[in-house]
Amino acid sequence: MICAGIDAGSRSIKAVVFDTDRSQMLASGLADQGVEQERLATELFEKLLRDASLERSQISGIVATGYGRNGIRFAGTTITEITCHARGVHQLVPETRTIIEIGGQDSKVICLEAGGRVRDFAMNDRCAAGTGRFLEMVATRLDMDWEKLSELAQQSKNPALISNMCVVFAETEIIGLLAEGKPLPDVVAGVQKAIATRVAALAGRTISAPVCFTGGVALQPGMARALEEVLSCPVSVAPHPQFTGALGAAVLASERNGKK
């Protein structure tokens, strides 16, 4: 059985085509989010079908998830991103008990029971602190790309303390630290640590190992280490961290279709 998952996030649309019988992702891809969300999602989905040499008639079911899931009208049904991320991570790393997902404009901590069932979750979706948007702001202010930001953070010997978690005030603080002569790598590493600290506060005492890190921010080297230092436990990065929501949606589509 072949199914698809569409994760319409706030910053990008991710899609996965999944073969249940072989437990294999046949194709995956992403596109920047935009005003014409359904057209963008449709074009992305059709591209994946071409990449996998599949016809639309071969897809048994489609589930949409994420911020804009209700706008993906060609999907058979919608499921919340909490459930889909949990299912996707469980598919990839079944021993996981805590998921930390940091995306472009929100972050989540999802606690799982044995078997991958969601036990509890906390979500930050009202503030850019603790999200990829914070890192984007820093990259823009420093006039450098995402990759260069990662390289700098890894050179840090003593991460700076970023006390303001509001992005607007943190930007002013960062400018002040640089004006005082604080090394740039230490400032960037301090931003990573500030994001990790915000996520740790979101989690409270609900962290149980093993911890799996997912979302677009998981692709930035240094963020997993920053989380490990703040949480005082190992943090592994999920395979295909940007696509766990879409993968979970595809797996749930196959399970629902199988029940029918």
pLDDT tens string 159-194: 998 876 676 777 788 889 989 999 999 999 998 898
**Dist. CA 62–CA 77, nearest whole Å:** 7
Query: Coil, strand or helix: which one is 42?
Result: helix
Query: Coil, strand or helix: which one is 14?
Result: strand
Q: What is the pLDDT of residues 70-81, one digit of tens each?
A: 999 999 999 999
- Determine contact, residues 156/185, Cβ cutoff 8 Å: yes
Which of 1, 86, 72 lies closest to 39 in space, CA to CA? 72
* Residue-level pLDDT at 125: 64
Q: pLDDT tens per residue, the chain (260 residues)? A: 999 999 999 889 999 999 999 999 999 999 999 989 999 999 999 999 999 999 999 999 999 999 899 999 999 999 999 999 999 999 999 999 999 999 888 899 999 998 899 999 998 866 666 778 888 888 888 888 877 887 888 898 899 988 766 767 777 888 899 899 999 999 999 988 988 988 888 887 668 999 999 999 999 888 999 999 999 999 999 999 999 999 999 999 999 887 55
> What residue ranges define each of the domains in the chain, with the CATH number in brackets?
1-93+242-260 (3.30.420.40), 95-238 (3.30.420.40)
DSSP 116-170: S-EEEEEEE-S-STTSHHHHHHHHHHTT--HHHHHHHHHT-SSPPP----SHHHH
Asked whether the whole model's pTM tops 0.85, one would answer yes
- Determine contact, residues 253/3, Cβ cutoff 8 Å: yes
